[in-house]
Amino acid sequence: MNSEYYWQAVVDRDKSKDGSFVYGVRSTGIYCRPSCASRRPRREQVAFFPLSAAAELAGFRACKRCRPQAAAAPNPQVELVLAVCQYVDEHLDNPLTLEEIGGALGASPHHLQRVFKGLMGVSPREYADARRIVALKDALREGDSVAGALYSAGYSSSSRVYERSDALLGMTPATYKAGGKGMQIGYTIIDSPLGRLLVAATERGICAVSLGDDDTVLEQALHEEYPKAEVHSAAVDGTAISTLLDYLNGARPDATLPLDVQATAFQRQVWQALQAIPYGETRTYGELARELGNPNAMRAVGRACATNPVSLIVPCHRAVGSDGKLHGFRWGLERKQALLQMERTIRPEENRPD
Phi, psi at residue 4, to the nearest 5°?
Answer: -70, -35
Which residue among the candidates 85, 207, 305, 316 is catalytic per the annotation? 316
Which residue among the candidates 32, 36, 63, 305 is catalytic per the annotation? 32
C-alpha 322/C-alpha 285 separation (Å) is 7
Answer yes or no: are the C-beta atoms of 306 and 330 closer than 8 Å.
Answer: yes
Q: How many residues does the chain have?
A: 354
DSSP conformational letter for 190:
E
Which residues touch 298 (CB under 8 Å, ≥6 apart)? 1, 285, 286, 288, 289, 322
C-alpha 267/C-alpha 57 separation (Å) is 10
Cα-atom radius of gyration of the chain, to the nearest Å?
21
Answer yes or no: are the C-beta atoms of 326 and 225 closer than 8 Å.
Answer: no
**Residue 94 C-beta-side C-alpha neighbours within 13 Å:** 10
End-to-end CA distance of the chain: 48
Residue 72, burial from CB neighbour count under 10 angstroms (0-12, 13-18, 19+):
exposed
| Kind and range of the H or E run holding 208 | strand 206-212
Q: Indicate if 316 belongs to the active site.
A: yes
Q: Indicate if 66 belongs to the active site.
A: no
Answer yes or no: are the C-beta atoms of 170 and 207 closer than 8 Å.
Answer: yes
Which residues are annotated as catalytic?
Answer: 32, 316
